[in-house]
Structure 1
Amino acid sequence: MKAKPKDVAEPGSKTVKSRAPIKRPMKKAPQRLPRAERQARVLEKAAEYFAEHGLNAQTRAIAEACGVSQRLLYSLFPSKAALIDEVYKREIVGTFKAIWFVQLKDRSVPLESRLNTFYREYYETLLTRQWLRLFLYSSLEDLQLAPAYTNAVVTHALEIIVTETAHELGCGVPADPAHLTEVGWLLHGAVSHLAIRRRIYSNDNTTPVDAVIAMQVRAFLTSVPALLPALAGSRA
């Protein structure tokens, strides 16, 4: 008896078509992130972890928080100290905008307006809860991160602020750099402590931040003439 050809129906039966094999989608192999991108992600997570838990954590806990193995963490950063240093560069120094120096020196804009603009942006952009906690933790650990930032960035900003204020008010600039810096800290310290009160101490004062900064700037400009030397040849 001959075999019947495929797909030939029996008399009175329905034709049965052969089904084509179902093509299943191929699973894509997970892509490996470029090294620079992986480092950036680890630094972001490490910054969050350090800000909440301090800098004393073991690398195993840090790696787990960053979603990588301890071995991979060490392949990206040779040591915990190197990781902390990179977090500092990214999260502490890296958030300061160099354009602020230029804007503070722009004498086409009234000084009070310059100071208000700078400190509003400084408060919102830089003095975040995470930034403040990282900065305070590094200080408590006696690391040189906080002094390095202050010496490299803040001191320069204070020199500009006091020099511009002296020019605006017709005063002299203190010859002693330490004295000059302390005058600048009267305003800078007030704004920094405002951020600490609101974002670390959870102070619930409802006065808008912009209004508080404006008060601090006005108080600074009012008090400075009594703190700066008179210009040579001017009347005391």
Structure 2
Amino acid sequence: MRMTGKVALISGAASGMGAATARLFAAEGAKAVIVADILDQEGKAVVAEIGKAGGHASYVHLDVTDEAQWKAAVEGAVAAHGRLDVLVNNAGISGSAETDLYDTAAWNRLMGINATGVFLGMKYATAAMKQAGGGSIVNLSSISGIVGQGYIHVGYNASKGAVRLITKAGAAQHGKHGIRVNSVHPGLMPPMRTSGRTADPVMRAKTLKGVPMGRAGEVDEVARAILFLASDESSYVTGAELVVDGGWTAV
């Protein structure tokens, strides 16, 4: 059981990759999985599913752009379970639904959720993990944080690129505290709630032509990558980028 005894908080865990990660952590023996999201009904349903399967989970409402909510979520986890071992900064929105790829409001929204949300999570998680003697932070970036695309808002690339470098800065700053910080970079995945052009079947078919494996990824495949970085199996891995893209960025 790769998560035995660990307390983990996962943002954006009501659906998609976050929910898959929450279920996997619980199945791998986590002491507690805190499912955090703004989608209360869906998040509570994930908690109920985990409990029915014999796992241990709870739900907390978390708007990742709200610093006070981050503070409360992390402090609540520590108060309830005595420590925080793992943070998965998964919450994010797509930039593929924007018609104006330079819309200022969309830029602010993308940066606020995708980048500032990660910064705030790290701010409070690292403080808690120092007290616990260490921990693991896994930040969800994207291949869009490594390469650009011509069909998504520039703020998406910028925000995911920021996550990539926030991760490396955190690794450099907190290695001495026993805190590892790594990023995961998914490629083409099932459409998000906020997807636009990337959900279009015609565009997805064109995109797949550039993926060596010839298919989109599954959320469970990303969850297993997150599990590796969250677990002690990756004890000497920090500041790394784990790309889960079927070879997209290899060509």
* TM-score normalised to structure 1 length: 0.34
TM normalised by structure 2 equals 0.33
